[in-house]
Structure 1
Amino acid sequence: MVERRPWLNLLSHAVLLLGVAVVAFPVYLTFVAASHTTEAIVQAPMPLLPGGHFWDSIVKALTGQISGPGSKAPVAQMMQVSLISALIIAIAKIAISLLSAFAIVYFRFPFKMFFFWAIFVTLMLPVEVRISPTYKVVSDLGMLNSYAGLTIPLIASATATFLFRQFFLTVPDELVEAARIDGAGPMRFFKDVLVPLSSTSIAALFVIQFIYGWNQYLWPLLVTTDEKMYPIVLGIQRMISGGDAANEWNLVMATALLAMLPPALVVIGMQKWFVKGLVDSEK
C-alpha cells in the first residue's frame, strides 16, 4: 500500500509548477513583446507587463505591414506554405510507410529482408548528411521554390515503416485467413482490416510528423529563395536583419506566437489519440 505524505505531494506540485514556469516564461515574454511597440521593447529594462498593441501587431504581421530591413512577406502566406508542407509531409509519410510495411510483412519476394534493412539503415542518414546530393537532384529537376521541392525529399520515413511493420507482425494470422475465406484481396484486407486497426498509431505518427514538417528550417533555407515560398520558421529568421533597433521586434514576436499556434492546436485536438497511440498495448 502506498503511503500518502502531504509534504511529498506539496514537493511534487512545487516541482511541476517550477517546470511549467520555466517552459511558459519565454512564451509569456514573447506575448509581452508582441503587445508593445518596438521602441518600448529595445529600452532597458524591457517591460514585463502586457501593453495595448497586441492585436495591432498581429494584424500587421499577418498582412505584411513590415517596415524593417528583413523579409516583408505576409505571415498569413508563410503560415499557408508551412501548413500545406506539413500536411503533405505527414500524410505522405504515413501512406508510404503503411504500404511499405504491408509489403514487407505480407508479401514474399526476393531480397525482402535486404530491402527492409536498407530502409532501416537510412535512420543513420538524416537530411543533413545527404543534403548536398538531394539539393542537386531537386535543383536539376526544377523543383526549387515549389511545394514539391519542400516536401518530396522529406516524405520517406524509416521510423514509421519500422513501427508499422512491428505492429503488423502482431496481427493474428486468423484475421488474414478469415479475410481470405471471405474473398478479400490484399488491398481490401489492407484497407478494411489493417488501416482501422492502425488508427491510433496513425494518429500518433500524424502529430509527430506534422510538427516535424511544420518546424523544418534547414531544408527550406536551401530550396527557397522566393519570399512567396518561405515557411513560417524560415520567415521568422528572414525578418531579423541588422541591429536590435532596426528590427520590428513586436512583429517578430507576434509572428513567433502565430508559428506556435497550429502545432499546439494539433497536439491539443489529437491529444487523446496521440497518447493512446503511444501507450495502448491493445492497439
Structure 2
Amino acid sequence: MVERKSGLTWLSHLVLLLGVLTVALPLYITVIASTQSAEEIARASPISLMPSSHFMDTYRLALFGGPSFQGGVIVPAWPMMKVSLISALIISIGKIAISLLSAFAIVYFRFPLRGLVFWMVFVTLMLPVEVRIGPTYDVVATLGLLNSYAGLTIPLIASATATFLFRQFFLTVPDELTEAARMDGAGPMRFFWDVLLPLSKTSIAALFVIQFIYGWNQYLWPLLVTTSEDMYPVVMGIRRLISTESTPDWNIVMANVVLAMIPPMIIIMLMQKWFVKGLVDSEK
C-alpha cells in the first residue's frame, strides 16, 4: 500500500502549477497583445497584461488585411490559413491512407523480400529531412510542381512511422478473424475495409491529430517550393510579418499567431477522446 504524504502532495501540485504557468503565460501574453493597438504596445514597456478594446479592429486587419500602423500593407491571413488547412488535410489523410495500405500489404501478403521491403521503409526514419530535401526539391521542380498543392503535400505524404505503427497493430489482430473472413468469402480488400479499418479507428484518429499538426506547422518545405504569395501557409505569413524592414506591428503578429493556433486546437478538442484512446488503449 502506498502511503500518501501531504508534503509530497503539495510539492507535486506546486510543480504542476509551475509547469502550467510556464506554458500558459506566453499564450496569455500573445492573446492580450492581440487585443491591443500597435501604439499601445509601442508605448508600454513592459507590455500591459490587461486586455484592450481593439480586439475587433486587430483581428479584422489580421484576417482581411489593410494599411498597417508603420505605413505598410498587412497581407490578409485567411488565404494563408486556407492553404495551411488544405495542405494539412491532404498530408494527414494521405499519410494515413498510404500507411494503412502499405502495412496491410506487408503483414497479409506473401511476396519475395517482404521483410527487406519493410526494413527499407523503416530505415528512412534514420534519414533527417535535410538529407532528403535537396533531391526532393529537384524532383518537384523538374515535374513543375512548384507553387502548387501537389508540390506542398506529395513529398510529405509517405510516413515510415505510421506504416510501422499500423504494421505492429495488424500483427496483433487474431488469425481467427482472417480465417473467418476467408471462409465467408471476403476478399483482401473486403477484409481490409470491413475488419481492419473499424479495428484501427482509434489509431487512425491519434495519427490524424499528430499528422494534421505536423502538416499545419510546416515551414521549411513551403519556404523552398513556394514563391507565390497565393501559396504561402500561415506560418510563413507570420515569419514575413516579423521580418519586415520596419518595426513589426506586433498586435497583428500576435493576432496571426492566435489565428494559427485555432485550427489545431479545434482538431485536438474534437478528437481528444479518440486521440488518447488510440495512444493508451491496451485492448487493441
CA distance in 1, matches of 2:9, 2:242: 45
Contact 2:103/2:166 (CA < 8 Å) preserved in 1? yes
Matched letter for residue 85 of structure 2 = L
Residue by residue over 1:87-124, the C-alpha shift from the partner in whole angstroms, topping out at 9 and shown as x without a partner, is 00000000000000000000011111111111001001
Instruction: Using the TM superposition, give the Cα deviation of residue 236 of structure 1 relative to its aligned residue in structure 2, in angstroms.
Output: 0.3
Per the alignment, residue 106 of structure 2 pairs with: 104
Change (3 A) 1:232 1:71: farther
CA distance in 2, matches of 1:71, 1:171: 57
Instruction: Using the TM superposition, give the Cα deviation of residue 70 of structure 1 relative to its aligned residue in structure 2, in angstroms.
Output: 7.5
Contact 1:69/1:246 (CA < 8 Å) preserved in 2? no
User: What percent of counterpart residues are identical?
Assistant: 70
Alpha-carbon RMSD across the aligned residues, in angstroms, is 1.5
Contact 1:71/1:235 (CA < 8 Å) preserved in 2? no
Instruction: Using the TM superposition, give the Cα deviation of residue 40 of structure 1 relative to its aligned residue in structure 2, in angstroms.
Output: 1.8
Which structure 2 segments of 5+ residues have no match? none
Instruction: Using the TM superposition, give the Cα deviation of residue 38 of structure 1 relative to its aligned residue in structure 2, in angstroms.
Output: 1.2
Residue by residue over 1:128-150, the C-alpha shift from the partner in whole angstroms, topping out at 9 and shown as x without a partner, is 21111111111111111110000
CA distance in 2, matches of 1:193, 1:72: 51
1:132-211 equivalent positions in 2, closer than 5 A:
132-211=134-213
Contact 1:69/1:247 (CA < 8 Å) preserved in 2? no
Per the alignment, residue 241 of structure 1 pairs with: 243
Change (3 A) 1:66 1:235: farther
Contact 1:97/1:164 (CA < 8 Å) preserved in 2? yes
Per the alignment, residue 23 of structure 1 pairs with: 23
CA distance in 2, matches of 1:5, 1:266: 39
Per the alignment, residue 130 of structure 1 pairs with: 132
Change (3 A) 1:199 1:238: same
Which structure 1 segments of 5+ residues have no match? none
CA distance in 1, matches of 2:185, 2:73: 59
Instruction: Using the TM superposition, give the Cα deviation of residue 69 of structure 1 relative to its aligned residue in structure 2, in angstroms.
Output: 7.7
Per the alignment, residue 48 of structure 2 pairs with: 47
CA distance in 2, matches of 1:69, 1:206: 42
CA distance in 2, matches of 1:66, 1:167: 54
Aligned residues: 282
2:66 alignment partner, SS class: coil
Matched letter for residue 128 of structure 1 = E
Structure 2 residue 215 is matched with structure 1 residue 213: yes
Instruction: Using the TM superposition, give the Cα deviation of residue 240 of structure 1 relative to its aligned residue in structure 2, in angstroms.
Output: 1.8
1:77-116 equivalent positions in 2, closer than 5 A:
77-116=79-118
Instruction: Using the TM superposition, give the Cα deviation of residue 169 of structure 1 relative to its aligned residue in structure 2, in angstroms.
Output: 0.7
Contact 2:66/2:73 (CA < 8 Å) preserved in 1? no
Per the alignment, residue 272 of structure 2 pairs with: 271
Instruction: Using the TM superposition, give the Cα deviation of residue 276 of structure 1 relative to its aligned residue in structure 2, in angstroms.
Output: 0.6
Structure 2 residue 44 is matched with structure 1 residue 64: no
Matched letter for residue 28 of structure 1 = Y
Contact 2:140/2:146 (CA < 8 Å) preserved in 1? yes
Per the alignment, residue 35 of structure 1 pairs with: 35
More moved, 39-48 vs 145-154: 39-48
Contact 1:69/1:242 (CA < 8 Å) preserved in 2? no
The TM-score, its normalising length taken from structure 2, stands at 0.95
More moved, 15-24 vs 126-135: 126-135
Per the alignment, residue 281 of structure 2 pairs with: 280
CA distance in 2, matches of 1:156, 1:150: 13
Instruction: Using the TM superposition, give the Cα deviation of residue 9 of structure 1 relative to its aligned residue in structure 2, in angstroms.
Output: 2.2
CA distance in 2, matches of 1:38, 1:256: 15
CA distance in 1, matches of 2:115, 2:150: 30
Change (3 A) 1:51 1:13: same
Contact 1:78/1:235 (CA < 8 Å) preserved in 2? yes
Matched letter for residue 260 of structure 1 = M
Higher relative contact order (CA 8 A, sep 6+): 1
1:257 alignment partner, SS class: helix
The TM-score, its normalising length taken from structure 1, stands at 0.96
CA distance in 2, matches of 1:71, 1:223: 24
Residue by residue over 1:57-100, the C-alpha shift from the partner in whole angstroms, topping out at 9 and shown as x without a partner, is 11111102243588843211111110100000000000000000
Matched letter for residue 213 of structure 2 = I
